[in-house]
Amino acid sequence: MDIRRIDHIELYVGDARQAAFYFGTAVGFTLRGQGGPETGLAGQRSLLLGQADIRMLLTTGLTAEHPASQYVSRHGDGIAVVAVEVGDAAGAYAELVERGATPVTPPRTWTGADAEVVTAEVGGFGDVLHRLVERRGDADDFLPGGIEAAPPGGADPRLLAEIDHLAVCVPPGQLDATVAHYERVFGFAQIFEEHIEVAGQAMNSKVVQDASGRVTLVLLEPDAGRRPGQIDAFLTEHHGAGVQHLGLRTDDIVGAVGALGARGVRFAGTPAAYYDTLEQRVGKVDAPLDQLRDLSILVDADHGGQLLQIFTESMHVRRTLFLELIERRGARTFGSGNIRALYEAKERELAVAGATPAVAAGTA
């Protein structure tokens, strides 16, 4: 299959307008389109947001039977569709189904004055679907006859560049099967794996990626033989497999974190002691350490270079979905070295106070 990139993601949410207010006001997305029953999207209200090359569709079901309503009832707000652009949606759909994908929505053509879009859907992981999107003509016409373009609004701040990866939690014992499914059905390749253990908690991680290198899933599975941790908590609150966080790449993480923080985004804190040994772990960092410390930005390194990353607090009542901002300076991995470094930093701080850390900090 000719998978080219992530075309968009779709979140099923309880209130699309409320979610759009958060992503617009706090995260810097702009309204690019909207649709509902009056545009041919029966039983739903959808708002299309964008920033640079990131497109996010927020959908609320207007009836109890709508898939968005059922998803939110079971999982809460979350990423329900990961859409990929392909050269031939109908052909890709047929090929995927033949390989064993669960068919969900057969190919449909959406036609406008200057564009034609073909979509089809198959099952992915848990209740998350993959939408195949074939675009012809005007690439800015997101869904002709379904989503109407919004009037031009404020300037796009372009704090974020593109979707870097999606981190997916799966129940214990399902990691290998999920990897095999993406290899066999979707033609992805496993590019990384590791076992992470700290403070009695442990998880297994494997990363799969399509041939273009632009669609990446970081798959996480808790080690059932260890003490329950954050992956277990996600699976419990989310009621099954799903996207734990969305990794968004930025070209300037210091500027982006400062700007988003001023807009009201709340980021996970980092112990000050983490920075005491930072350059011993990762080498010289081309950024002022006091600035990284003030903003709680993490740094990790692999054979390709360094990466800078930070995680937001979850914006959802179930404390499930959250965002990661990541700036890659040659690194190809995902910052797992920060898990132990964060825990050890917290341990040093608590030792000074005569306490013992109760849980490990975690990233993925």
Annotated binding-site positions for Fe cation: 165, 245, 324
* Number of residues written out for the chain: 364
Four-CA torsion 86, 151, 256, 15, nearest 10 degrees: -80
Distance CA(145)–CA(269), nearest Å, equals 44
At 320, is the secondary structure helix, strand, or coil? Answer: coil
End-to-end CA distance of the chain: 28
Q: What are the strands of the beta sheet with 115-123, ordered from one edge?
A: 103-111, 115-123, 129-137, 78-86, 3-12, 54-61, 44-51, 30-35, 148-149
CB-based burial, 71-108: b 16+ in 10 Å, e otherwise? bbeebbbbbbbbbbbbeebbbbbebbbeeebeebeebe
Distance CA(214)–CA(211), nearest Å, equals 8
Distance CA(250)–CA(256), nearest Å, equals 7
| Non-local CB neighbours of 56 within 8 Å, separated by 6+ positions | 8, 9, 10, 11, 23, 29, 48, 49, 50
At 150, is the secondary structure helix, strand, or coil? Answer: coil
Four-CA torsion 192, 133, 13, 65, nearest 10 degrees: -120
Annotated binding site: 165, 245, 324
- Residue by residue, DSSP assigns 180-237 as HHHHHTT--EEEEEEEEEETTEEEEEEEEE-TTS--EEEEEEE-TTS---HHHHHHHH
